Chain A
């Protein structure tokens, strides 16, 4: 029976031959997509240069990565995102810990954070420009507002999942609040907090880059919108490929980090 076969495969993991098949499927999909792309590029169905050929794209990628403007702008954007993450995660973790420690505060303010979280934050940008100027300040503020919500909500969720035994241990050793936070709560919440930071970084990257495309004179978002204005499609594709690759890579790395070494934290002892 087909179902039984599916069930067995799902349970026992993949066999070596299956792994080869999975790789073959992946390669096949990539080849087909590249072929479709190349076909579309030469088909004449689109305006000239809208879908550049793979060779043109590769050349643009090499040109982008071998020129200095890219690295200068990358540095600007990375700095903005780092500052945004620093501000957003300090506030997010503090709010998460506070609400997690006090059920009344959680019932009072959690709905606001929860329902505010999924609203589009970029609409605040016009207000942030007036408050923090057209420079990096408004981009940092944009990123910080974006990442605050997932970090606060993940920290709060993490507080709720902590094994009460750990907190009782802390109390019976009459740990000070500082020690409770740094020696017990934060180690026990390692995984949800890293999840919060991973999600937060994702939205901080989006917030900061979108803000740069709207109004700025530096950064990768600015480079994207400049190449759009010049109708330099290959460069725009190259930029988007690089930015998306960096974002996905960071996401994967943080996820690995949250899975690794989880045996040496207190949470797993519980």
Chain B
């Protein structure tokens, strides 16, 4: 049974990696045969060779720290603004009715397109990037905080009342703990929203960390370097995404 389970997982993973390797090999061959134009697409072998080069020469680690710092600053602000807003909405049902659909609309709105506006308001610096990321990423935190608090099981609140807890105690000792998994789902969505916006705006305005690196390499026409940097950024985003997923699983299992 155990071996069956393992092969059940192993085979798809192996097939996935094998087909990825096959795709890379096919692209390499097509480029070598000049069926694909090697002047607009680098050889995959060159891209892999470029990874150590950009790590060494392009200060990738410092750039990573810049992007991570912006993301962390945004995250702190998103939580500090989004969670209290969610609590406020949950406590005032009329305000919630009045504004909940606005927050959903804001979540779907292409706020990031307003990045030139933020450049004018804040200057071409990290605070513009952080401000944009925060405004665009607050809605999921607000909505998930409201959902989580509103979904507290009636039984638990009744238990609190049976022990004649005050309203404040019921809120902090019962509703908040039971809402934490949902709130974390919102924070995780907010973090992903923020990371995407931060890297995107860094790329667009050619300022800051990892996003700028791709732009610079592309402008230098360093094809292999550009692709290598893209692979690096995707790896970082995937890592951040997986990490938050683990934390979420850990929180919901408890």
Which residue numbers of A lie inside 8 Å of B, CB to CB? 1-3, 6-7, 9-10, 14, 18, 21-23, 25-26, 29, 46-47, 50, 104, 107-109, 111-112, 115-116, 118-120, 122-127, 129-131, 202, 205-206, 209-210, 213-214, 221, 224-225, 227-228, 231, 233, 236-237, 240, 243-244, 247-248, 251-252
Contact = CB atoms under 8 A, between A and B. Distances in A.
Contact of A130 (B19, B214, B223): B223
Contacts of A47: 120
Interface stretch (B26-34, B55-63, B95-103, B176-184): B95-103
Contact of B242 (A1, A115, A205): A115
Contacts of A214: 203-204
Contacts of B97: 14, 18, 22
A25 B89 CA distance: 12
21 contacts: A10-B93, A18-B97, A21-B94, A26-B98, A26-B99, A112-B20, A115-B241, A118-B196, A119-B196, A123-B214, A126-B219, A210-B204, A213-B113, A213-B115, A213-B204, A214-B204, A224-B113, A224-B116, A228-B120, A240-B113, A248-B105
A18 B86 CA distance: 20
A123 B211 contact: yes
B234 interface: yes
Interface of B: 9, 11-13, 15-16, 19-20, 40-41, 93-95, 97-99, 105, 108-117, 119-121, 150, 154, 157, 161, 167, 170, 192, 195-197, 199-200, 203-204, 211, 214-215, 218-219, 223, 226-227, 230, 233-234, 237-238, 241-242
Q: Which 3 A-B pairs have the closest CB atoms?
A: A126-B218, A228-B116, A107-B12
Contacts of A46: 121
Contacts of B195: 120
A202 B110 contact: yes
B154 A7 contact: yes
Contact of B16 (A9, A109, A240, A252): A109
Question: Chain B at the A interface: mostly helix, strand, loop or mixed?
Answer: helix
Contacts of A237: 117
A239 to B, nearest CB: 9
Given A123-B230, A131-B41, A225-B116, A118 B94 contact: no
A210 B237 CA distance: 19
A227 B116 CA distance: 9
B16 A108 contact: yes
B216 to A, nearest CB: 10
A138 B169 CA distance: 56
Nearest to B40: A130
A244 B111 contact: yes
A213 B200 CA distance: 12
Contacts of A120: 195-197, 199-200, 203, 211, 233, 237
Nearest to A245: B109
A50 B118 CA distance: 10
Nearest to B195: A120
Nearest to A198: B108
B99 A29 contact: yes
B85 to A, nearest CB: 13
Contacts of B150: 10
B162 to A, nearest CB: 13
